[in-house]
Amino acid sequence: MKKLHLSIGLLFGGLLALTLSAQNTSVTSESPRVAVGTFDSRGVLFAYVGSDEFNDYLSAQTANLERAKEAGDEELVAKIEAMGPALQKRIHEQGFGAAPVDDIIARIEDKLPDIAKRAGVDVIVSKWTLTYHSPSAKFVDVTDLLVAEFDPNEKTLQNIREIVAKDPVPLDQLRNDH
């Protein structure tokens, strides 16, 4: 009788060990899959520069310049006037190249969790910053969701469609053109 109990115990113990081993194997062989939201930074830039928010920013800078001129503050006038070419250069690099648009994304930072949720992604990155990804990686283009946050008109949307259909110009080429 002892041999029968021992045999049954060994049989169940072996089955339990096999079951646990199979469960552990399936858990470790399936790594969690992260869904990555990517965006074309050029589309985001075009949406921003076509927005009321950007126009308000430009109007405020123009008003600051006029006030500085009226006050005779030459140092402030020079500083504000220097901002124009620097802004234009940055916009050129962001709009036609693949320069980061972190300054623009920061303006809608509070909307990013909702955008990620709607797109079903865990992270959002510029498509130009991806250095490597495995063949099994899941990507979702969230450009349109980010662009929508700037409430673009149809003309801006058309410009965005045209620019994202082309490859970006290398930054060194853009910088040499200026």
Confidence grade of residue 135 (pLDDT, cut at 50, 70, 90)? confident
pLDDT (tens digit, 9 = 90+) per residue, 1-48?
Answer: 554 443 444 334 443 444 444 444 444 446 668 899 999 999 999 999
> Where do the domains of the chain lie?
34-177
- DSSP-assigned letters across all residues of 67-107: HHHHHT-HHHHHHHHHHHHHHHHHHHHHHHS----HHHHGG
Whether residue 161 is predicted with pLDDT greater than 70 in this model: the reply is: yes
pLDDT (tens digit, 9 = 90+) per residue, 113-122?
Answer: 999 999 999 9
Cα gap 123→96, rounded to integer Å: 24
